[in-house]
């Protein structure tokens, strides 16, 4: 991504995330009026667990990625930095 577009891209991402969050709250509230709060809380828990499983699956370590050589994809620099052991000071 070019540096001159980075602010616009992240601004658009943040704005769309905020709008979708508002839309989700409005939809959840309307559905809670119809079916009740407890079933909607159960749906919210199920969606949170599902999203956690998606994240764990996406960032699973040690599994081969289907590429040319069957090797693992390199980690992004920020994550690689976290995993690099540092010498004690």
Residue 13 lies in a domain: yes
Residue 24 lies in a domain: yes
Residue 88 lies in a domain: no
More confident residue, 65 or 11: 11
Cα 23 to Cα 79: distance, rounded to the nearest angstrom: 32
Residue 20 lies in a domain: yes
pLDDT value at 23 more than 80? yes
What is the per-residue pLDDT for 59?
A: 83
Residue 89 lies in a domain: no
Write a three-state SS string for 45-87.
HHHHHHHHHHHHHHCCCCCCCCCCCCCCCCCCHHHHHHHCCCC
Residue 32 lies in a domain: yes
Residue 8 lies in a domain: yes
Cα 54 to Cα 57: distance, rounded to the nearest angstrom: 5
What is the per-residue pLDDT for 4?
A: 78
Q: How many domains does the chain have?
A: 1
pLDDT-based confidence at 5, cuts 50/70/90? confident
What is the per-residue pLDDT for 89?
A: 60
Q: How does pLDDT run across 26-83, given as a tens digit for each residue?
A: 999 999 999 999 999 999 999 999 999 998 888 876 555 555 555 666 666 665 555 5
Domain range for 35 is 3-83
Residue closest to 59 by CA, chosen among 75, 80, 83: 75
């Amino acid at each position: 991504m070019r540096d001159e577009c980075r602010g616009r891209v992240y601004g658009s991402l943040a704005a769309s995330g905020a709008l979708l969050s508002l839309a989700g709250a409005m939809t959840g509230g309307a559905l809670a009026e119809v079916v009740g709060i407890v079933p909607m809380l159960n749906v919210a828990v199920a969606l949170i667990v599902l999203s956690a499983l998606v994240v764990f699956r996406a960032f699973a370590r040690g599994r081969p990625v289907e590429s040319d050589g069957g090797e693992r994809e390199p980690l992004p620099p920020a994550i690689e930095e976290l995993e690099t052991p540092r010498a004690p000071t």
